[in-house]
């Protein structure tokens, strides 16, 4: 890449293809600063011979609408010199989910002159839009060269949720309006982002409160039994872009009275402890089409997270949607003779815990 100069720029002839690669790993709780691609006044081209056109240098994108390699004007806009910063929409794609998000790259040109007649250090102090060949005159003389600033602001990185993101920005350099491409600049991005503070057990039917679930215990008059089943929609977010080695799920019966043989129980709303006042139930998860029984207090490790089906959800407190792993939970009360149970209302408390391994993929 050309170098940045603070004083009069060196003779610089643009040409060829310049490449940069930016590989970062960070957690969303501590975003990095701006990613500086080219610091301000990085010289793109300079010659005291104004006729070479290096004071007309401008940058164009391959598309003005498709952000795959950056979206900005494809040719000289012809606009008069105007101070400002160009925002280039660049598409980042997450490898696991295919989620795509546009991040705005900031770009601006600076014009340099052959002497210090107008500016103390040969540089006009203003920033200009990157896709215009226009530049201010200095005593009826045009600019002799051009510098550039390119960066990805930290606040734009905040748009990217946990996952493995990639993008490529391509900018072409031209020295004349509608002229050929003289040089190209390619920037690749490889970002591994975690979000450990956002690890969540998400219940879509209860997005902001703890679930209150009816187990649908029903009476069968033919068999004179009582039992029932309820499926609770549940989705697990690992804060790693659904790429954890596994997810550890534990259920605990946290009622005030000890559970029965199944490990999870509902109790009559009176204070008794005999079997007639207890309804036992079982807990299972559906993980990728496989039924996983859950035992009270015992962690079950769910593997294959990196290939599991995903669901796009908006978690409480987040401004961007994320993908979680659907794991619907089934609560099943096996049928028992109605004569063995006391009539009335039964209550229970079940706690679900999620553990994500500390190793980051």
What CATH number corresponds to the domain at position 318? 2.60.40.2040
> Does residue 25 have a pLDDT over 80?
yes
Lowest mean per-residue pLDDT among 24-38, 72-86, 148-162, 280-294: 72-86
**What number of other Cβ atoms are within 10 A of residue 18's Cβ?**
17
Give the domain-ending residue among 194, 218, 241: 194
pLDDT for residue 250: 98
Lowest mean per-residue pLDDT among 41-45, 119-123, 250-254, 330-334: 119-123
- Write out pLDDT tens, residues 153-206: 999 999 999 999 999 999 999 999 889 999 999 999 999 999 999 999 999 999
Residue 227 within a domain: yes
Q: Are residues 133 and 209 in the same domain?
A: no
Give the domain-ending residue among 165, 194, 223: 194
Residue 317: pLDDT band by 50, 70, 90 thresholds?
Answer: confident
Q: Are residues 324 and 188 in the same domain?
A: no
Q: Are residues 116 and 225 in the same domain?
A: no
Q: Which domain holds residue 138?
A: 16-194
Give the domain-ending residue among 194, 229, 250: 194
What is the Cα–Cα distance from 213 to 152, expressed in whole angstroms? 46
What number is the average pLDDT over the span 15-43?
Answer: 96
pTM for the predicted model, two decimal places: 0.87
What is the Cα–Cα distance from 200 to 142, expressed in whole angstroms? 59
Q: Are residues 218 and 333 in the same domain?
A: yes
pLDDT for residue 138: 86
pLDDT for residue 41: 95
> Does residue 224 have a pLDDT over 50?
yes
Q: Are residues 170 and 41 in the same domain?
A: yes
Q: Token pair of 247, please?
A: 């997810």
What CATH number corresponds to the domain at position 60? 2.60.40.2520
Residue 2: pLDDT band by 50, 70, 90 thresholds?
Answer: very low
Q: Are residues 262 and 246 in the same domain?
A: yes
Residue 360: pLDDT band by 50, 70, 90 thresholds?
Answer: low
Residue 349 within a domain: yes
Q: Are residues 189 and 206 in the same domain?
A: no
Q: Are residues 184 and 207 in the same domain?
A: no
Residue 121 within a domain: yes
Report the Cα 108 to chain-centroid distance in Å: 26
Q: Are residues 181 and 47 in the same domain?
A: yes
**CA-to-CA separations, 47 to 51, 115, 174, in angstroms, rounded:** 9, 11, 15
| Count of structural domains, the chain | 2
Q: Are residues 161 and 72 in the same domain?
A: yes
Q: Are 350 and 288 contacting, i.e. CB atoms less than 8 angstroms apart?
A: no
What is the Cα–Cα distance from 59 to 133, expressed in whole angstroms? 9
Residue 360 within a domain: no
Give the single-character DSSP code of 205. Answer: T
What is the Cα–Cα distance from 196 to 302, expressed in whole angstroms? 18
> Does residue 271 have a pLDDT over 90?
no
% the chain with pLDDT above 90: 82
- Write out pLDDT tens, residues 112-166: 998 777 887 889 889 999 999 988 888 878 899 999 999 999 999 999 999 999 9
Residue 9 within a domain: no
Residue 62 within a domain: yes
- Give which of 310, 304, 323, 358 is closest to 27, Cα–Cα: 358
Residue 8 within a domain: no
Q: Are residues 126 and 165 in the same domain?
A: yes
Q: Are residues 215 and 326 in the same domain?
A: yes
What number is the average pLDDT over the span 18-37?
Answer: 96
pLDDT for residue 6: 46
């Amino acid at each position: 890449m050309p170098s940045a100069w603070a004083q009069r720029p060196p003779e610089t002839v643009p040409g060829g293809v310049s490449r940069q690669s930016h590989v970062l790993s960070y957690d969303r709780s501590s975003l990095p600063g701006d990613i500086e691609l080219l610091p301000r006044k990085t010289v793109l081209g300079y010659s005291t011979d104004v006729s070479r056109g290096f004071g007309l240098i401008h940058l164009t994108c391959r598309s003005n609408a498709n952000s795959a390699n950056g979206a900005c004007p494809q040719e000289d806009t012809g606009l008069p010199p105007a101070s400002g910063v160009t925002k280039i929409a660049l598409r980042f794609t997450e490898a696991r989910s295919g989620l795509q998000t546009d991040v705005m790259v900031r770009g601006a040109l600076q014009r340099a002159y052959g002497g210090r007649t107008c500016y103390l250090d040969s540089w006009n102090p203003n920033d200009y839009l990157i896709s215009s060949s226009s530049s201010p005159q200095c005593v009826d003389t045009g600019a002799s060269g051009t510098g550039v600033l390119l960066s990805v602001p930290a606040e734009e990185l905040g748009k990217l949720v946990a996952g493995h993101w990639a993008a490529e920005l391509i900018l072409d350099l031209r020295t004349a309006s509608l002229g050929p491409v003289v040089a190209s600049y390619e920037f690749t991005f490889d970002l591994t982002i975690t979000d450990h503070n956002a690890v969540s057990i998400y219940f879509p039917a209860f997005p902001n409160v703890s679930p209150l679930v009816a187990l649908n215990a029903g009476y069968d008059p033919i068999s004179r039994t009582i039992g029932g089943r309820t499926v609770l929609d549940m989705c697990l977010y690992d804060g790693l872009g659904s790429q954890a080695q596994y997810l550890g799920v534990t259920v605990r019966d946290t009622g005030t009275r000890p559970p029965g043989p199944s490990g999870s129980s509902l109790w009559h709303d009176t204070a008794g402890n005999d079997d007639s006042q207890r309804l036992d139930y079982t807990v299972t998860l559906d993980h990728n089409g496989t039924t996983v029984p859950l035992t009270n207090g015992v962690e079950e490790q769910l593997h294959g997270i990196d290939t599991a089906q995903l669901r796009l959800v908006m978690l409480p407190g987040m401004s961007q949607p994320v993908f979680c792993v659907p794991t619907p939970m089934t609560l099943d009360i096996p049928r028992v003779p109605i004569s063995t149970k006391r009539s009335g209302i039964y209550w229970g408390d079940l706690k679900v815990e999620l553990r994500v391994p500390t190793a980051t993929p």
